[in-house]
Structure 1
Amino acid sequence: MKLNFEHLQSAHCENGVTRSLLKNIGINQITEPLAFGIGSGLFYVYIPLLKINNGPVIAFRPMPGLIFKRTCNALEIPVVRQKFSSKQKAEAFLNDCLNGGHPVGCQVGVYYLTYFPKEYRFHFNAHNLIVYGKEDDNYLISDPVMEKTTSLSTYELERVRFAKGTLSPKGQIYYPQTGALITENQIKKAIVSGIKKNVREMLNIPFPFVGVKGIRYTGNKIKQWRDKLGLKQAGLYLAQLVRMQEEIGTGGGGFRYIYAAFLQEAYTYHPIDELLEISKMFTESGDLWRTAAVQAAGIYKGRLGSQEDFNTMGNYLIEIADIEYKAFTALKNIKWQ
């Protein structure tokens, strides 16, 4: 049982799953940047009281599945989405989907993904992939961050679909139902709604550790980590930041580059010059996120370690917050036609 499915490599897993599943039902206009932007994919939260892999929870994306859900909702595409308490029911539902001709998105943990390089496997349960068939005891896998398709045995797929810990997937499965072709007007409206939601989430959530405020909050905290935590623990915290930023989901610089590309594509639907200028701001922010990652790596690998090095790292995030505040404020003030 192998469905007619085209594997497409992407920069980010859930963007790629969204684009590929929509393309599979005949919706070809949605690129990865459009999926990311319509799905309001930019986010930031720093929660020091919660720990994952012995470091604070730092997230550069909304909850798993939200990009897919928001994109489909904005385009008025009905979706099927389900979680399970029973592994047997989860497997049966997956098989029913495949027998019905539906490739499906699955949320999984990466620690037991056998085709991932070992250095990329750790306890992180917000990865997304597509199952598009089954041959003997192997499920056929299209993982958007991989160059080629692969496969997982029934046991291996069950293991990652029911990974334990923070954001446990609970067998989550989803796919878009076949619908009518999407019009240009629908895409135009979806772009505006996606931008407005992202503006609210990055500017208006009233907590200091969320959105643009959260980036600035983290920058100020980093300046205190060396004295408060000690050099070793502070280095581990920075390693956590870089892992979540660059190794899982391209969260820091990568997301900003994708969002910059989204605004450029949005310009083809809404020829408003400000969109191109704001796109440049997000590219600038992406460059700074990458620079900050290099600084953080120097600290946790022991090449750097003075208080001034921590101050420099914190100031990078504060500068990023300033740029993104200006960018989202500019988006907020656009007069949509």
Structure 2
Amino acid sequence: MRYILIDFEHEKGVQSDTTCLRDMFAFEGSDIPEAALFGLGEGLSFFYWESKNLRRPTMGCRTGVLDLDKKACQSLGVEIRVRTSRSPKRAYGQMKKMLMDKMPVMMHVDSYYLNYAGKEQHNGAYSVISTGVDEDSDIVFLADHRFDDIIELPISRLIEARASLHKPFPPQHRWFEFSFPEEVNISTKCVIDSISANTIAMLNPQVRNVGVGGIYYLANSIRLWRDLYSQKEVEDMCDEAYMTLYGDGLYPGCLRHLYADFLSFAYEVTDIGSLKDVSEGYGEAGNMWTRAAKMFGEVKCGCVSLSEIADAMTSIAEKEHQLQTELLCAVNLGCKRNGGGKK
């Protein structure tokens, strides 16, 4: 069997799930920017966990595997159904069936098994889109946010990547099915509602180590690392923090810039002028995150102290607290105007 969706368009994106959503929307005739999907999916976050059950503290920028996808689609009136299977054969057969029905297949894989990706950590919530298959050549065609063009992967490698059992997010042969309305519209109300919900989650989370509070928590914890861990453990933790916080994709600096782009887009939709100012502020916050992330990589050589990193993280927390407070005021003003601005 050989079948390829020749009319599927793809280009490089920022992170896997929002790029895949953007491509799926575009295939259905709705050109929604990736930044808009990130913002409407309430994707801005941060967490820092430390526990006796963890060998070392962990941190990151996403707190839910499917939350963004579901929230973005719900906000835009698109039905999204998440399917899983215990059977590699059934999951592969369903992929072929959807392709034969002229439908690209968004799915989760463990990126560790993508042999074109180089050195990888296990991440079973990594999104790609299957756009075709050539069984005679043992090739599946995939859209991946890291590449401008459709890439090729051995079918056996895709099956292995979908079947991974590595925690915390095994892919479970997960795929997504969508039902689009005749027209997808981004209203002032859905933009304001998404910003408001994300802001509340950042300022008033259910647990202290998430959102802005999580950034403050990280800053305070860093000051204690020397007392709680050995020199080697501290160096290893800093190396891991550097790998987690610096680079492309799911990294705080990168995602702050993406959210800045969303707020600029939101201003165009809502005509709420203060969103433009906060957008510029989040661009600055993204730069602050990138500089702080680099500092973690300079601890081992003695170029940077933990207290300097803690000070930098405190400044970031203060910056984001200010920006989120301004956002809350902005969306409250928009609500008082009864969804005012542009409809």
Q: TM-score normalized by structure 1?
A: 0.92
Q: Deviations over 1:248-303 (max 9, x none)?
A: 6242111001111111111111111210111122112111101111110111xx22
Q: Deviations over 1:210-244 (max 9, x none)?
A: 11000110111111112311222112222222222
For residue 297 of structure 2, give the secondary structure of its aligned residue in structure 1.
Answer: helix
**Counterpart position of 2:27:** 24
**Alpha-carbon offset, residue 109 of structure 1:** 1.3
Measure the CA separation in 2 of the matches of 1:98 and 1:187.
Answer: 32
Instruction: After superposing the two structures, state which structure 1 stretch, 323-332 or 229-238, moved more.
Output: 229-238
Measure the CA separation in 2 of the matches of 1:129 and 1:212.
Answer: 30
**Alpha-carbon offset, residue 43 of structure 1:** 1.0
Superposition map of 1:126-145 within 5 A: 126-136=125-135, 137-145=138-146
Q: Is the 8 A contact 1:39 1:70 kept in 2?
A: yes
Measure the CA separation in 2 of the matches of 1:33 and 1:51.
Answer: 36
Instruction: After superposing the two structures, state which structure 1 stretch, 192-201 or 255-264, moved more.
Output: 192-201
Q: Is the 8 A contact 2:140 2:155 kept in 1?
A: yes
For residue 6 of structure 1, give the secondary structure of its aligned residue in structure 2.
Answer: coil
Superposition map of 1:94-133 within 5 A: 94-118=95-119, 121-133=120-132
Q: Deviations over 1:82-117 (max 9, x none)?
A: 112222221122222212211121112121110102
Q: Is the 8 A contact 2:14 2:248 kept in 1?
A: no
For residue 8 of structure 2, give the secondary structure of its aligned residue in structure 1.
Answer: coil
Q: Is the 8 A contact 1:55 1:240 kept in 2?
A: no
**Counterpart position of 1:233:** 233
**Counterpart position of 2:152:** 151
Instruction: After superposing the two structures, state which structure 1 stretch, 315-324 or 146-155, moved more.
Output: 146-155
* Cα RMSD, aligned residues only: 1.8
Measure the CA separation in 1 of the matches of 2:22 and 2:307.
Answer: 40
Measure the CA separation in 2 of the matches of 1:56 and 1:107.
Answer: 26
**Counterpart position of 2:72:** 71
Percent of pairs with identical residues:
24
Q: Is the 8 A contact 2:15 2:250 kept in 1?
A: yes
Segments of structure 1 that go 5 or more residues without pairing to the other structure are none
Q: Is the 8 A contact 2:246 2:294 kept in 1?
A: no
Q: Does 1:295 align with 2:291?
A: no
**Counterpart position of 1:320:** 316
Segments of structure 2 that go 5 or more residues without pairing to the other structure are 335-339
**Counterpart position of 2:337:** none
